[in-house]
Structures are given as C-alpha cells and as structure tokens.
Structure 1
Amino acid sequence: MKIKVPKSFDLNVKNSESVGRIAKSSQNGGVFAALMIPRHKPIYDKLHLAYNLKRANEENFKLFVAIEGIHEGKLSEISILKNKGASAIYINSDEDMTLIKRVLEYAEFLDIPVFINCNNKSLSIGVMNDSEIAYLLGISGIPNYAESVEVAKMVEMIKHFNAKVIFQSITTKESIEILKNKPKNAYVDVCIDNLYFNDEMLKEFNSLYKTYPPLRSEEDKNALLKACEEGIVDFISSNHIATSQKDIPFEEAEYGISKLDIFTQLAYSLPLKPEIITKLISNNPAKLFNIKINEFIEIEFGEFEVDLSSFASKGKNCPYKKLRAKIV
C-alpha cells in the first residue's frame, strides 16, 4: 500500500551537528522544516542566531531556531532576537521562577512560542529511568516525578498567561494525566523514541538506547501512544542527537539517538493510524508556526531494513533496525 502525505516538520532537532548535515538528514527523512533546540551549544545572542540562520540559507533549508530564554541565570534579549529571526524560546522548567515569568510575558507580547524542558535537575542525578532494571544494573535512576512535578508546576504557571507553551519530550504517564486538563494555550510534544522503546532495552548496558529524557517503562510507553490516539499529544518530534561517544562505559556514554534521516519513515511505522501521524508530525507543527507545507512525499508500507551507511548525519548512534514504512 502507498499513500501520499505532506512532508514532516520536526520540532525537536538538537544542535549537535552542523546545519549542513541537519539539512541533508532532513531531506533523507522527509522533513520539510526543523526547529533547532539549543541544548548542546548555546544560542542566546545575535551572533549565534545569525550563524545558524545563515548556514540554513546557504543550504536552502527551512530552519527555525529556538533561542535560550534564560542563559546563565540572566534573561536573554528576547525582543531583539525575535526581530533578528528567532522563531521560538527554549527554557528549562527549574530556572528561577521570576525569570520564567518574564519569559512568558515576553512570549505573550511578541507572540512567540515557548518550548519547556520539564525536569527537576536536583531529582535527576541518574542516567536512565528509575526502575527495577536500573537497580539490577546498579545504575542510579531518574524518577518519573522529576518530570511530573515540573509539569504540574508549569501547568499552574501558564494559566496566567496567553503565550503558546509546548511541553517538550513528555515521557511519563503521570505527566499525561496532568496534561489531560491542560490550558488551551498548552501543547504536548512526545519524542518518537519513547513511543518505540522502553527501559528494558538497556538491560545489557546498551548505550545506543541511552537518551535524554530517558526511555521509561512499557506502561509509560503505552500511555503515550494512547494519548496520541486521544488527541492529548499535539506533536511527535525526533529529539535527534548525533554523537560518536557511545562505545564507552555506559555511565560515560553521551545521551542521544540519531534518527533524523529516517524520522518520517519511523513515524509512519508506529502502531497509529496514518491520519493521526500526519496530524502530529505535519499539520499541527505547521499550524503552530502559521506556515503551509506544500511539499508531499509518497509512503510505501512493508518491511524495510535501516541502512546506517545512507545516513547524512555524522551520528550512527541509531538502534532502529527495521521500518514498516519508507519514502518512495
């Protein structure tokens, strides 16, 4: 069977490699546009912003750039950066609440979306999900409540603002329960890895599955899939991270999974209806940024092998082996 679908808009590509590689990987993965999230390298001033936008222009690639709303305990020049081409703001939920309030005020006034990483650092001293598996491996874990307490806090906070707020890379069933009653200006994003894998994949200290936020339990995974079906989740994104630091002791291995080269293929391989996938990876992200996706691709369903040698990304840190969909 084959279907024609719009290209995807990936709302979570970490700046872990060059814009050139991101552009080429996006082409392989059926990605029309990508939002760069500044988690690996800072983007908080005009120089960093201009550099990435210039590289994207040279590649003729539609790159949206999120700037850090708070950098080293200080508010960034959000208004100036928005005028210089910034498309979104990225913050961590456990920053100073007065600064978060200021960010939300700016976002509301400037009509620019805020992407929030909900995680309490003081509760997240581990390197994988806090579970029986972590205990058996002798590895410190990150509990579900390190995320859900921050989600609850931010849900209450954003009720007092009209800024568009995206809860990025939600992983736990507890967070989903809280977000079932989210304000109308709140959106939920889920990383595709958390819809495929659970923490059992790390039983053999396989660092390919070491990512952040971590893979959670099978129960959490199923709760996320159900939330996609029920319309609680608004976006599925890649959380693409390219790294070569995997073949080292587990605790020292870098976080991240490379999959931008197969993002759209992976999405349509999920156990979800194609129309739901189209909504979550194409229509909803485009609507968030008020753009239209005029490029289409044809998806064929079957059984296909993942060929890492074809990746344009420098990161071959990809545990995916088989796909149920490919771009024709």
Structure 2
Amino acid sequence: MNILLKAAKIIDASNPELHLKKRDVFIKNGVIEAIAVHLEPENQTKIIQLDHLHISIGWFDSSVSFGEPGHEERETIENGLLTAGKSGFTDLILNPNTNPLPDSSADIVFLKRTSEGKATKLHPLGALTVKSNGEALAELFDMQNAGAVGFSDFKRPINNSNLLKIALQYAQGFAALVYSFPMDTQIAGKGIVNEEKTTTSLGLKGIPALAEELQIARDLFILAYTGGKLHIPTISTANAVKQIASAKKKGLDVSCSVAIHNLYFTDNRLEDFDTNFKLMPPLRTTSDTKALLKGLKEGIIDFVTSDHLPLDTEEKIIEFDNAGYGTIGLETAFGILNQLFDLETTIMLLTKGRERYGLTRPKLAKGEKACLTLFNPEPDHVFRKENILSTSKNSAFIGEKLKGKVYGIISNNELLF
C-alpha cells in the first residue's frame, strides 16, 4: 500500500528538524520512503489531504481492558483494537481482566494470536498470581517468554507483603515488571467512593486517601529491600505523588501512571449518583487533581492512561452501591488531554511509556516503519453516546466538551481511517 500524506504538521519534539514543520510524507509498503516540503504521488498511491492535518508517532496506552475471552459481550479483541485505532492508539497494554484470567503461557499465546495482523498492536499483561487470588505466583517466566510484558492482578491489591517481596526478587532474574495496585483493603473496608465531606453527606461509604498511601509506602519499603522493577498503576492522591517523588530521588526503580478521569473529574460529580463516575481508584478532591497534574508536568508520574474498562449495562444501570467500577476512555483520551495541556505536552503524554515495557519507541524518519497517528487538534465538540465506538457504553465523559479530532492511524502496514 502506498500512502502520501500532504502538508502534515509534524509534532515530534525529539526531532527538532521536523518538529512543528509541515511536510509531505510518503509511505510505501508500511515504510516511510520520503519526507519533504513537496512530494508528487507515484502510481496507485492513496493521497490523504485533510484540514489541519497533524501527525505524530503512534500513541500508546498502558491500561486497557476488553472482555475476550469470557466477557465478549463487553468487548471483543477485534472491536476493541478497532476502537483503539480509531481513537489514535497504535499500541496498548491489555490488562488481565478476562475469564479465564491469563495466568499461563497458553493464555498469553491466545491473546497474541487473536490480535495478530491488526493496525493496533496488543501487548498483554499476565496475571501476577494464579487466578489473581493473591496466594501463589503464576507462571511468570513462561508467560514472559510467550509475550507478556508485565504482571498484574488487575485492580486487586497484593495483601500478602511477603508475596510481593518474593515476586520482586524472582522477577529480577528475567527483568520483569511487577505491578502492585495501591489499595490497603483493610483501611478501605467497604468504602466505594472517596472519603470526604461531600460523599459522607450523600450517605456513601468512603475510601480514605490513607488506603492508597499506606499501600504505596509498604510497596516502596519492600522495593528498597528487594530491588527489581515496580509499577504502581493509576495513583489518585497528592501524597501518593510525594511518596513516589521521594522514592525516585532515592534511586528506586519505580514507575506510576494516572487515569485521565482522575485528572479531569473530582468527587463532586457524585452528587447525582451517576454510576459512570463510580471508579477505582475513586475520584478524589480538587487538591488531589492539581497535584496529579503537577506530578505529570514534572515527570514524577510517568504516563497517563485511559484506564479503559468496558462493563455490561447491567453492571452500571443499577443502584450505586452495587454498580461495577470503571469507565471506557479510549475515544475521549485525546480530546480531554488536549483541553488540560498544550498540544505538545498532550502528544508527549500520549506517546510516553513504551520503554517501561521493553517496547521500541517508533521513529518518524525516512527508512523507519510507519507508526503514525493522524489528528486535527482544533475542533471542539461535545461527546455523545452515539460517538462511542466501544461495545459497552459506560462512559463518564458523555456530555463533556472535547478538543480535537482523531483521523486515524497508519501502523503495521495498515491504514485505519
């Protein structure tokens, strides 16, 4: 396939010769053949010429859930990857959130094979413990050999401190990345939202910030003892940012992420008892949100994620106490970040993180495989339910104003447009 992008403005701060320049880009059989001010198309070339066309290297999301196998009614791998591609993402990390859970090499092989040949590449996480029950380590080494890029018990804390110690020690033998979800379940108790004056007045049981911060403190002490590579997903409190900043200054190999909805919403959105705002970690306060935004800008928080989590209608159209946690977020990630940050920062955040998982960062240069996201950063629009591409419709962003539009991706010798 031959593709010619006309007058595309390049956003790539790592490449000062092309950054913020308008160029024609010619792609032949999935490889960038030429980048110039003006290029003439060869025979049988698809020409792409669009309003305010911008391009960057392909975007990356470190926390995405689908449903297949076991919960295909939520999302299949095929439609999930199609949704991700149309939302601008060329690579994603798939959470172990299926039935059965991927806790063996055969499970990882299934996920890899099912996703082969798609424009968006799927990189699976394996379960850290057997059935993610927190009792015994799963087949970490075998799963990594099969293609797993890290190990996580998705949204489930590791309550057994010794198990986390053993996991970090064992994983060092093959340089594996270990996740620990930041939640002390005993402190959290039966809480379902942030513990704060507003939520208490609503009669909702709260999860104090202490539950997150105490678990992070424990994890960092263990990491200092064992060494290894630790990732703390989706932090949500101001003190969590401080703790991780301190650990990094000490030289600990720790990374963390934040969900876009925790940057954008606060717990005051719970006043209408809309279950789309029942999230884990819960929405926190304005001061927490400000600290998270500052932590991102300063590089303390390593990357953002949509934390895309499709759920059945039956899990959301129900009383708040019994509703499931989670929102979809792939379709709205760019439009929200582009409001919160300037364009260059937005693209920097959307392209960070591959290296943590041992993945190669694409290059926008002649002779490189084309891995590009095409977008227009200008138009404002309101996100409606009919704009949702995912099979599940549980979005906290319905009715929100988004800035910018994704045209599609060119990746894996595929044009998704």
The equivalent of 2:144 in structure 1 is 82
Instruction: Give the greater-gyration-radius structure (CA).
Output: 2
Aligned length: 327
The equivalent of 1:112 in structure 2 is 176
Report the Cα offset of residue 260 of structure 1.
Answer: 1.4
> Which of residues 78, 97, 101 is equivalent to 2:161?
97
Report the Cα offset of residue 228 of structure 1.
Answer: 1.0
Greater displacement, 149-158 / 178-187: 178-187
Equivalent AA in structure 2 for residue 205 of structure 1: F
The equivalent of 1:272 in structure 2 is 341
Aligned equivalents of 1:316, 1:15: Cα separation in 2: 13
The equivalent of 2:8 in structure 1 is none
* 1:302 and 2:372 are equivalent in the alignment: no
Aligned pairs (5 A) from 1:15-30? 15-16=66-67, 17-30=75-88
The equivalent of 1:56 in structure 2 is 115
The equivalent of 2:242 in structure 1 is 177
Distance 1:102 1:189, change over 3 A: same
SS in 1 for 2:103: coil
Distance 1:15 1:104, change over 3 A: farther
Which whole-Å deviations, capped at 9, do the CAs of 1:58-92 have from their partners, x for residues lacking one? 54541111111122311111111111111111145
The equivalent of 1:140 in structure 2 is 205
The normalised TM-score by structure 1 is 0.93
Q: What percentage of aligned pairs have identical amino acids?
A: 22
Does the CA-based 8 Å contact 2:64-2:93 persist in structure 1? yes
Uncovered stretches (5+) of structure 2, i.e. residues with no partner:
1-51, 68-74, 363-370, 408-417
* 1:256 and 2:326 are equivalent in the alignment: yes
Aligned equivalents of 1:90, 1:38: Cα separation in 2: 7
* 1:128 and 2:183 are equivalent in the alignment: no
Greater displacement, 141-150 / 285-294: 285-294
Report the Cα offset of residue 267 of structure 1.
Answer: 2.5
The equivalent of 1:242 in structure 2 is 310
Uncovered stretches (5+) of structure 1, i.e. residues with no partner:
none
Report the Cα offset of residue 23 of structure 1.
Answer: 0.3
Does the CA-based 8 Å contact 2:85-2:119 persist in structure 1? no
CA RMSD between the two structures: 1.9
Aligned equivalents of 1:231, 1:48: Cα separation in 2: 34
> Which of residues 376, 392, 404 is equivalent to 1:315?
392
Does the CA-based 8 Å contact 1:108-1:161 persist in structure 2? no
Distance 1:60 1:50, change over 3 A: farther
* 1:4 and 2:64 are equivalent in the alignment: no
Aligned equivalents of 1:164, 1:283: Cα separation in 2: 18
Report the Cα offset of residue 162 of structure 1.
Answer: 4.1
Does the CA-based 8 Å contact 2:195-2:208 persist in structure 1? yes
